[in-house]
Each structure stands twice: as C-alpha cells, then as structure tokens.
Amino acid sequence: MPITKFCFIILFLWFINGNYSFAAAINVKDNENSQYSLVHIGVVLDLDSPMGSMADLCINMALSDFYLEHPNYRTRLHLRRKDAEGLLNTNIAALELLKRGEVQGILGPQGPTEDKFVAELGGKVHVPVISFTASSALPSAQNRYSVRTIPNDTYQAQALAAICKGYEWPEVVILYEDTDYGYQFLSHLIKAFQEVEIGITYMSSISISSDDNQILKEFNKLKEKQTRVFLVHMNVSLGHRLFVLAKKAGMMTEGYAWIITEYLSNFLNSMDFVARASMEGVLGIRPYVSRSEKLDRFQERWRRNMVTKKSTGSIRDFNVYGLWVYDTVCSLAIAAEKIGPVNSSLLNVNTSKNGTDDTNMKISAFGPKLLSEFSNTKFRGLSGDFQLINGQLKPPAFEIFNVIGTGEKTVGFWTLDRGISRELSSTGEPTYSASTKNLKNVLWPGDSVTRPKGWAIPATGKLRVGVPVKNGFREFVNVTIDSATNFTNATGFSIDIFLATLPWLPFPINYEFYHYNDSNDINWSYDGMLHRIPQMFDMVVGDTTIWAPRANYVDFSLPYSESGVILVVKNKKPFDMWIFIKPLRWDLWLAITLACVLMGIVLRLLEHRVQNTNEESIRPRRERLRMIYWSPIAVLAFPERSMVANSWSIFVLVFWLFMAFILMQSYTANLSAILTVDQLKFAFSEDYYVGYQEGSFMKEFLKEQLHIHESRLKSYSSVEDYHKAMSRGSKRGGIDAIFDEIPYMKIFLKKYDSQYKMVGPTYRTDGFGFAFPAHSPLTSYFSRAILAVTQGPNMTSIERTNFGPGYSSQDPLSSTVSQQTSSLTFYNFGGLFIIVGSVTLFAVFCSETSVGRKFTALTALYSQMCFNFISSKFRSRHNDREESHEFIQDVAGPTSSEGRDVSIFEEPLSRGEEEIYESDQQNDSDSAEVELASINEERNS
C-alpha cells in the first residue's frame, strides 16, 4: 500500500507540472485582463463531436503557448465560447455573440449550412467569420468576411485524379457520404477526373443512418460491375463501418484498389483495431506536416492534456485540422497585436444607416482592421507555412500513404507545381510529373504487390456475351438454344471473329453466351439489345453496326467488317441471244439498212453509163452492174477488188466507207460496255418501295438521312425474303430496291448475281463491331485484338468458312457496282448521215443530169486551163533561168579540163520523155475537143 500511494503521488505531481503552464496562462488571462487591451473572439463549436472536442483543446493550448512566448504583447484575445449542436443552436449562438457588438470575430462553425448563415451575418456587421473544417462553406466574392484557414478542396481532388491517372486506372467508383459536404466535394472530383479523362462509372451515396444490410446490398451491386477502383469520401464513423463490411463482402482481396480522401485519412488514429486491420492495402492522401521539435513537444503536451481534460468528445489524437486551428489562433493574436491597443468605445459605429434592422446589432469598426491584418499574416506554424490566399489557406503538399497492418507507410507526395514525386525537394527547377513509377512499393489489398489493373470480370466469373437470335443472314450469327438446359450456342462469322480475338488478349476470359429475342419477336431491334448492357450483357457480339446514336450509351470496338450502306436494284437488262443488236437502237438499224439500199441504187445509176472499152477491166460490165447492189457491203469485205469504174462512184464510196467505219467502231464500243458494265448511274424514284433488314438501324437511317417516307419502307429478315419481294415488285406488294449494308448485300448478290446490281453512292457507316458498356476497359483490349485478327493470315479462312469460296472483304466494291449502257440511236449519228447523203446526191446530180454534166465539164475545162496557165508560167521562168546561166557561162569561160563546156543546168529531155510529154499534151487537147463537141451536141439537140 505505501508503494501504491507513492506512485499515485508521483503521477499526480507529474500531471500538475505538465499542466502548470496551461493553468497559469489561463489564470493570468482571467485575473489580469485589466493590464491588456482585450479583443473579444466568439467560439462556436459542437464539443460532443470529434472535431469540436479537438478544436476546443487546440484553441486553449494555442492561447497558452502563444502568450507564454510573447509576454510583452499589449493585446490579448478573450474567448467567448458557445457549445452548439445543429443548425438552429449554432445560428442562435452566433446571433447572441454578435448582439451589442460583444465579439470582433467568430471561430468555428463546423457545417456548411451553419457556416453559410453565420458568414452572411458576419458580413453585415463587418465581423470576420473564420472556419477551419473541410465541411465549411467556400468563401465568396460577395462576402469577404468569410475566411477558411484550410486549403480549397479543388487541390485534393486534383491530387486524387493524378494518382488514378498515374496508376493507369481508366475508371473509378466513388463512395461518398450523403451530406451537403459530400455532394460539395463530389463536384470537385467530377471536374478533376474529367480533366484527366478518367471515367466515373458509378457514384454511390451512403447515408450515416444506413444499416449494415443496406451497405452490404450496395457492395453486392458494385461487385457485379467491372470497375475495381473505389474512392471513399466519408467521415470516420461511417468509414469505420464501411471497410469492415467491405472485407466481409470479399472486396478487400487481390485485384481491388481502395483510395480514401483526407476527410477519413486525418482521423485514422481514432479508429479501433478491427477497422484499421480491415483497411490493409488502402491508399490515402492527406496534407503533409513536416516533423519539428516544436511539433513533438506539442504532441507530448497534447497527450497529457487529453488525460486531464474531461470531454465527451471521441477524439483520441490530433490531426492537421487541430494544427490549423492552433495556427489560426496564433495568427489572430499576431493580427490583434499589429492593430495595437484600441479604446473599447471606438470598436463599434452607429448602425442606423448601415443595413441592419436589429437595433441590438452594431457594425464593427475593429473587424475590418482585424480581417486585413489577419489575411496578410505570414509565419511558420505547427502545420507549416501559414499564409492565406483569397480567403483560404495556401495549398499544401499532400502525402500519399499506404495502410499496412495497423500502421502506415509514406510512399510519395503530390504538390501543385511538381505533381507526383517520391520525396519532397525544394532544390532545382520544378518539373511536373504524372507518373507513379517513382513512388515506393505499395502493398495492395490481399497482400498483393501487383498493381491492380482497375477492372475485372464481374463476380459471376464469366463474361456475359449477348448474341442476337435472327431468322436470316445466319452466316454472321447463328444461335441455337437447348430446350432442356436453355444453354445458348452460337456460330457464324461474328462469333468466329470473337473467338479469334481471345488468344490475343493479355488475360484469360471465361465467357458464356446469352441470347436475345428468343421469342422471335418481329419488333425486336439491335438497339433494344444494346440497351440491355450492362444489366443483362457485359458485351454484345454480333453483326452490330457502329452507329453514332448508339455511341451515346455504349462503346464500340474497332470494326471487323466492311463499312457502308448501298442500294441494290433489279437488273432490268439481262443478257440474251439477241444481245448483239442492243448496241444500236431500231431506228439506227433501219437507217443503216435504208442507207445500204439507197447507196446501191445510187451506184447503179452512176455505173450504167460507163462503157466496157478497157480490155484490162476486172469484170465484164453486166457482172459489175449486178455487184453494184451489194457494193456497200462488198466493198468492206473485199477492199482489194475494183467494184466501180465511174469516178463519181469512187467519190461516193469514200464517204460511205468513212461513215461505215465510224458506225463499226461505235457498235464495238457500245457492245463492250454492255458486256462489261451494268449500271453506274441510277435515278432513285420517290415512288419506289424500299426494303431493309428487320431489327436493324436502317429504318431510322432511311427516314432521317435519306428522307424516305415510312409508308414506303418494308422490313425483311433473310436473303430469300429480299428476293421474293424484289421479284414481285411494288405493283404486286413487293419492293423496287433494297437499302442495306455491304456485307449483307454481297451475300445477296453472290446468290442472285445475274438478277441484281448495286447502284448509286455508298453511304458511310463504320461496319460491324463489338459493343461494351460505356467507358469499359475491355473496349481497347478487344480493339487491338480485332486489328491483329483482321490483318492476320486467318481472316481469309474465316470468311471462306462462313461465306464460301469467292467471298472476300478485300475485294474492291467497284467490281460489283455498274452502269447501265443505253443503245445508240439514229439521232446520235444524224450528222454523219446528212454528210454522206449530201455527198451522194451531189454525185448523182453531177453524173446523171445535163446541168450537172455541163457543170462538171466546165469545171474540168477551167481546171485544165488553170493548170496550163500555171505550167506556161513555170516554163517561162525556166527559160529565163537558162538564158541567165548561158550568160554566166560565157563570162566565166570553160571549166572542164578536157576543153568541153560544162553546164550547171539540167540536161535536155531524152527522146522517150519528149514523146511522153507530147502525148500528154495531145491527150489534153483531145479531151478538151471531145468535151466541146459534146457540149455543142447537147445544145443542138
């Protein structure tokens, strides 16, 4: 017993000694107030809350420490405390403190609603309202008397977004406290994550009053999602329950990632052993406070004061909020001392004209001065550099820590100017880093050292792959359902592409097919199937077109098929046994036939006057006249034979051959076009009935983009249905054209190639792709795998397996799109017939009429006279040149070495040449005489 009493006495003396300075300061403040100029400051706190209890003790310690260190200060802060819980009590307490001008500043409204009212009240009476909790309202430009001595939540949201971006997590789920501050902080998070392009797949609000079953139900819902990164923003009491239940739900295992905000991080020391143990592997951030000797002494005195202090609060240890409270009080004391002693009669001014209706409320004259000095105060406090910027604390560095067991390990830091770093360093130029590779190793949930990829297959263990049940085009997707087990099996081109991509994924996937439209409802649609993501399906595999309106609620992989929508119409000009006559129209064929007949008649007229006096003639006259009827054709078949003798006949045949060759070449070109080109230009009629595929997006496409009325649209499900409808035509209840995507139409044309053709332009779509939930990480993995498959060697075999030989997505579309070639008409060659006809008539006129013959004879005579005249002129000039040369020779003398004269002119004509020349002249004169005699004979007759 004596030993027990002795120990009790020693412990009692130690407590007395530890708290002597604190009690002495309080006594000095209470007993010697008359020696100092007092500045009254109101304090409104909820002392039953962890924050209120911690803030109250920190305020007392700050006053004690500060005035012990500065005993010569002439001013003293005098606190007027109000213990208030809830909105109503806080507002009443603030109103009582401001009545009659009792306080020149207010500390501590803790909630955003209370803080907002008190801040507006302080702005009216010019009293600064200073808050130091995260849940306090933001300062506004309209009320400069509202001050927050904590940093803006925007910086914390940016730090959280930078961490998620650094770990390459594509999306997160946010769990937040269902309070005003929770919603307020959520807006900062959404903006920060949007800036770094990280998706927020789900936001779950949890109320403080939620029981464990409600929280577990929410966890079961989250386990069905692919996202495995959870960001938690809630207070310590709710966070304590959340992580215990998360571990119970199996969500604190390998593959999960949990991040907590400073709202929970700053109070981890207040959590019990069970809650801390359940948080192993959690990553958190909080404002960084550098260690110092002064902070160590403060922490030691804090523990001693917590033992002696009788408080109902649940706070066990101080955190950065307590340090900010401590530094705020010190800053207020410094600001009050800078103002200096002030006469109490000058603290307030008359309020009758200053906007306050309550006569008990007075405008403070000291408040603006206190706010100005307080805002400009800078010093090194327990929390670090204390400086206000725009009514808020300067943004600090954030510490990134990892919960390991019941302890913590700092793995790095985040600052506004340097980003993520392993250590804090103030040397060198600041370079921003967004990489987490320099951070220390992190122990993740489940004792894993491997960074979670941020997503996983849902808790069911198998990927739910949706496939459509359809009646037609089963080459793409063919679904069979076991009636006994309801097991779904799928085959086809789209399924083979899906199966081929699985080996290219960097992780294994277990999947199971789930069918859609098992009742074969005619009103089913691909859009309806896509809207079942992610409730029924984790992804959809099938001939699903990548279309812009669908991208509003699902994500698509890269396409694995051809893209485009095209029009198919009936081939109205099939090849037949009479195709050789199609290059020319009937009128042109008739014109050519008549021209041949007329040409034979003309040649018969021209040849009947020719006498067979030439012994070397190829054929006798009678036989030559019989051949004349066939000469327009025979002259083409036997160009080497002389079929005519009259010069006018030869003249006519020259132009006939000119026209014949043009017609032959045009016939050949047009026949080639008919045999190789079907139709390229096509005029779509508004009266056409158009078919489209059942369940596809084509109905909306045709209505919205091509503006085809709905009454002219008909849906079909298979190739056979298309063919039957096109065969009937719109007049018999069918259709005139089909609008569908290229892969479907290539299958259609492959089966009915000679009867249909693609026409018109190709309308842009992006082809077939796999569909995923919005922001799904699977999208990028499958897109890369699709590229590997479609550009690999197995693509051709996949196509041949499903579509048969001859089908290839690499074939150019131009080989199937064609243009109709029209027949040539008489009008197209009208000018040519006019020329040949005119020449023929002219030849008949000149040969068979007296006027024509006279005209021909006179033309020949005048032509001969012109020729003789030109020839005589030439001979005269030739003689002049000979005389000139003789004169030059006489002057120059002989030049030959043999003594003979050598002339530089041409030698005289030989005897044979002279005879030919004389004969030509004689013939010319004889022909002229014959012509003159014939003219005189005609005149006499």
Q: What's the confidence (pLDDT) of residue 229? A: 94
Average pLDDT of the residues in 499-522: 83
**Three-state DSSP class for 94?**
helix
Which one-letter amino acid corresponds to residue 165?
K
pLDDT band at residue 745 under the 50/70/90 scheme? confident
Among 133, 403, 412, which residue's Cα sits nearest to residue 271? 403
CA proximity to 396, closest of 149, 141, 130: 149
Q: Is the pLDDT of residue 936 over 80?
A: no
> Could you tell me which of 208, 200, 273 has the C-alpha nearest to residue 237?
208
Query: Strand pairing of 407-415 and 398-404?
Result: antiparallel
For 425, other C-beta atoms within 10 Å of its C-beta total 11
- pLDDT computed for residue 348 by the predictor: 63
Bridge partner residues of 42 (DSSP): 80, 106
Are 205 and 178 in contact, with CB atoms under 8 Å apart?
yes
Q: Are 580 and 667 in contact (CB under 8 A)?
A: no
Torsion angle defined by CA atoms of residues 462, 468, 472 and 474, in that order, rounded to the nearest 10 degrees? -10
Q: How many helices and strands in the chain, by DSSP H and E?
A: 28, 31
CA-wise closest residue to 54 among 286, 227, 236: 236
pLDDT at 896: 41
Residue 565 has pLDDT above 90, yes or no: no
The pLDDT, as a whole number, for residue 902 is: 39
Give the per-residue pLDDT at 564.
85
Measured CA to CA in angstroms, residue 149 lies from 182, 368, 378, 395 at distances of 19, 17, 12, 11
Indicate whether 91 pLDDT > 90.
Answer: no
Among 159-168, 433-442, 821-830, which is the least confidently predicted range? 821-830
pLDDT at 310 over 60: no
This prediction's pTM: 0.62
Q: Is residue 459 pLDDT above 70, yes or no?
A: no
Q: State the pLDDT at residue 353.
A: 43
DSSP letter (8 states) at residue 828: G
Give 700's pLDDT tier (boundaries 50, 70, 90).
Answer: confident
Euclidean distance between CA atoms 768 and 559, whole angstroms: 5
Which neighbouring-strand residues pair with 691? 714, 738
Report how far apart, in Å, the C-alpha atoms of 594 and of each of 54, 169, 398, 643 are: 118, 86, 102, 20
Q: Residue 445: which pLDDT band, with cuts at 50, 70 and 90?
A: very high
Q: What is the mean pLDDT of residues 172-185?
A: 89
Least confident of 152-166, 216-230, 341-355, 721-735: 341-355
Instruction: Classify strands 392-393 and 398-404 as parallel, antiparallel or unpaired.
Output: unpaired
Alpha-carbon Rg for the chain in angstroms: 54
509, 465 contact by CB (below 8 A)? no
Unique residue bearing structure tokens 């370079």: 431
How many whole angstroms separate alpha carbon 641 and alpha carbon 643?
Answer: 6
Q: Residue 769 above 70 pLDDT?
A: yes
As a whole-number percent, the residues of the chain with pLDDT over 90 amount to 22
Mean pLDDT of 773-799: 88
Task: Express each pLDDT in 101-114 by its tens digit.
Answer: 678 889 877 766 66
pLDDT tens digits along 821-858 = 455 566 655 776 787 678 778 777 777 787 777 877 78
With 70 as the cut, is the pLDDT of residue 890 above it? Answer: no
Top-confidence residue, 625 or 229? 229
Phi, psi of 529 (to 5 degrees): -70, -40
**C-alpha to C-alpha distances, 117 to 112, 262, 362, nearest whole angstrom:** 9, 26, 17
The sign of the CA dihedral 535, 541, 542, 546 is: positive
In whole angstroms, what is the distance from residue 86 CA to residue 12 CA? 38
**888, pLDDT greater than 70:** no
The residue-averaged pLDDT of 6-21 equals 43
Does residue 927 surpass a pLDDT of 80? no
pLDDT band of 643, cuts 50, 70, 90: low
Better pLDDT: 674 or 201: 201
Q: What is the 3-state secondary structure (H, E, C) of 22-55?
A: HHHHHHHHHHCHHHCEEEEEEEEECCCCHHHHHH
Report the amino acid identity of residue 260.
I
Mean local confidence (pLDDT), 253-266: 92
Residue 761 has pLDDT above 90, yes or no: no
Cis peptide before 534 (omega within 30 of 0): yes
User: DSSP states of 290-359 as a string?
Assistant: ---HHHHHHHHHHHHHHHH--------S--HHHHHHHHHHHHHHHHHHHH----GGGSEE--TTTT---T
Residue 466: pLDDT over 90: yes
Q: Check if the beta carbon of residue 249 is closer than 8 Å to that of residue 219.
A: yes
Burial class (CB in 10 A: 0-12, 13-18, 19+), 528: middle
The pLDDT of residue 500 is: 94
Give the HSE-up count for residue 851: Cα atoms under 13 Å, Cβ half-sphere: 2
Residue 707: what pLDDT? 84
Question: What is the model's pLDDT at position 676?
Answer: 64
465 or 661, higher pLDDT: 465
Mean pLDDT of the chain: 77
Residue 6 scores a pLDDT above 50: no
pLDDT at 917: 44
Judged against a pLDDT cut of 80, whether residue 311 lies above it is answered with no
Work out the pLDDT band at 813, boundaries 50, 70, 90.
very low
β-pair partners for 356: none
Mean pLDDT of 83-88: 80
Q: Which residue has the higher pLDDT, 359 or 372?
A: 372
- Which amino acid appears at position 345 of this protein? S
- Do 311 and 26 contact (CB within 8 A), yes or no? no
Which residue(s) pair with 412 in the sheet?
400
Rounded to whole angstroms, the Cα distance separating 143 from 130 reads 12
- For residues 96 and 360, the answer to whether their CB atoms sit within 8 Å is no
Distance CA 863, CA 857 (A): 10
Between 805 and 419, the more confident residue is 419
Q: How many CB atoms lie within 10 A of CB 775?
A: 17
Residues 586-606 as b or e (16 or more Cβ within 10 Å = b)? eebeebbeebbeebbebbebb
Burial annotation 551-575 (CB, 10 A radius, 16+ → b, else e): eeebbbbbbbbbbbbbbbbbbeeee
Stretch among 119-128, 469-478, 874-883 having the lowest mean pLDDT: 874-883
How crowded is the C-beta side of 927, counted as CA atoms within 13 Å? 14
Coil, strand or helix: which one is 734?
coil
* Mean pLDDT calculated for residue range 56-79: 91
Is residue 58 within 8 Å of residue 66, measured between CB atoms?
no
Helix residue spans in 361-436 (DSSP H): 367-375
pLDDT at 22: 41
pLDDT at 21 over 80: no
* 464 closest CA partner among 705, 225, 291: 225
pLDDT in tens, 283-301: 999 999 988 888 888 888 8
Res. 442: pLDDT tops 90? yes
pLDDT tens digits, one per residue of 589-599: 888 778 877 87
Check whether 705 has a pLDDT greater than 90.
Answer: no
pLDDT value for 269: 80
> How many whole angstroms separate alpha carbon 389 and alpha carbon 397?
16
Tell how far CA 57 is from the center of its chain: 57
For residue 334, the model assigns a pLDDT of 93
